Structure 1
């Protein structure tokens, strides 16, 4: 019997993690994935669409964010996403990598949707998420999700997660919760700095750009802390 068109999210993003010192670490070179050049799974056009969609979501959060950082594309994160997506595993990883970066996954089979539609499914978790206001955080903020998962959305809008790298892979066979999916499309997005820290809100509430990190030098664009980079892509090599 033919498989019906399907699309799923992994039940959590990279989880809610306890706060830790030194979170602002760079992605370690090697981090458990091969760094040899591989076929790119996202076209430059799709890269622009995915990145623009993330920034639109980040710019329009409600309540407004005082410290939301403009997101840029990171080639190192994208290469790590390519390497993991190529393994066709319905799980987060590799373990060495996700100690340092956030990660969202989505998968589909049957009728193909655009990559933006796959990302949009993370944003749709917003309808189940209630932002923890400052008076509720004393000192730790409660997790206020009325559904099984909101952590894909909160990772998208985590203020300090300003670098993004994603990849798509077509998997001939992939195990998804005990079933074999054939010719499925797997999307992996990596985020740095890692978000979803237990007891913390995704961002500070306030007038846009009123609490930007000093490194931005007061720069602000479309409600986000902005450095004035001419390009929205970052290359580590």
Structure 2
């Protein structure tokens, strides 16, 4: 146990709310705040003894919350992660005796024909896209790395994305190839695509998709794009790849579908978009007053066209 906990003492933790340090993997499994159960075993092999412990949740997922920060519990109402939990006064730990959640589990009612994705994963992908598109539409996204840079201009039209089961089926099929790279455009006619390699197997879809969306979107903070927000050849061929961001920000991309598949010790994340974005010499989105280009309804609160 001391060896498993040791990396934290040696390397330290930068941010427990955004865990992303594989050196701390063993410690992360021990310290994960939502883990409820574990079991251990040992086997003597010659002159060595091998010890293994299994936990009901994986603690070392990239970009996950390792545990919630704050004061330790002193009363039952402080324990809110699992409904019905109580606070054990002696060690200030929350105790839950109900049924543990299934790792990666969740309903599958939105796309019943696709069994390898969950509704929580679908909702996470959709929310991750629309939340960021809303920020962009309202002019709240900085253009480039420098914190003093101006924000990108507001969008007169930015579609609210909707989840699409057909796009998802294609994304799952390609994710299962474990290619770890974007598919040939001829193999996905009409669809745009973003891909991401998640550094853990058997990923909870929602966790992997949130990490992927953050990685793609944050490309805009590595370097700025042209103020006309046009997908020029210079942007397409840029050394700093920003095509993940531009596809997420493509105003006319309305439908979204994603897949997550385990590939060895990693997970391959694929999202597909329709209509496809990243079309050469077209605008990523039209510049103008928020919602002024919406044909139907628009929510002023998020700036997305319905």
TM-score interval, smaller chain: 0.5 to 0.7
Residue number among 197, 222, 235 corresponding to 1:128 in the alignment: 222
**Using a 3 Å threshold, how does the CA distance of structure 1 residues 156 and 109 change in structure 2: closer, same or farther?**
same
Q: Distance in 2 between matches of 1:155 and 1:78?
A: 16
Which among 193, 198, 208 is matched to residue 290 of structure 2?
A: 208
Aligned-partner Cα distance in 1 for 2:250–2:243: 10
In structure 2, the CA distance between the partners of 1:110 and 1:169, relative to structure 1 (3 Å rule), is: closer
State the partner residue of 2:97: none
Contact 2:236/2:243 (<8 A) preserved: no
Q: Which runs of 5+ in 1 are unaligned?
A: 8-36, 173-182, 227-237
- TM-score for both structures, normalised by structure 2: 0.52
Q: Deviations over 1:144-165 (max 9, x none)?
A: 9975201100100100011100
Equivalent in 65, 70, 76 of residue 160 of structure 2: 70
> What are the ranges of 5 or more consecutive residues in structure 2 without an aligned counterpart?
1-20, 24-60, 62-112, 137-151
Q: Deviations over 1:71-111 (max 9, x none)?
A: 00000000111111111112322543333211000002248
- Count matched residues: 177
Q: What's the offset of the Cα at 1:46?
A: 1.7
Aligned residues of 2:200 and 2:267 also touching (Cα < 8 A): no
Tell me whether 1:196 sits opposite 2:288 in the alignment. no
2:121 aligned residue: 46
What is the alpha-carbon root mean square deviation over aligned residues? Answer: 3.0
Q: Deviations over 1:9-58 (max 9, x none)?
A: xxxxxxxxxxxxxxxxxxxxxxxxxxxx55323x2112111101100110
> Compared with structure 1, are the counterparts of its residues 85 and 110 closer, same or farther at alpha carbon in structure 2 (3 Å cutoff)?
closer
1:108 equivalent in alignment to 2:198: yes
Give the distance between the partners of 1:83 and 1:5, measured in 2 at CA. Answer: 28
CA distance in 1 between partners of 2:233 and 2:263 (Å): 39
Matched residue SS, 1:106: strand
- Pairing 1:167–2:246 present: no
Q: Distance in 1 between matches of 2:156 and 2:244?
A: 21
**Larger RCO of the pair (alpha carbons < 8 Å, separation 6+):** 1
CA distance in 1, matches of 2:223, 2:289: 21
1:189-237 superposed Cα distances (whole Å, 9 cap, x missing partner): 000110011222310111111113x4xx2x10220111xxxxxxxxxxx
Q: Distance in 2 between matches of 1:55 and 1:158?
A: 11
What SS is found at the alignment partner of 1:202? coil
* Corresponding residue to 1:157 among 249, 258, 261: 249
> Is the 1:82–1:166 contact (alpha carbons within 8 Å) kept by the matching residues of 2?
yes
Specify the structure having the higher radius of gyration (Cα). Answer: 2
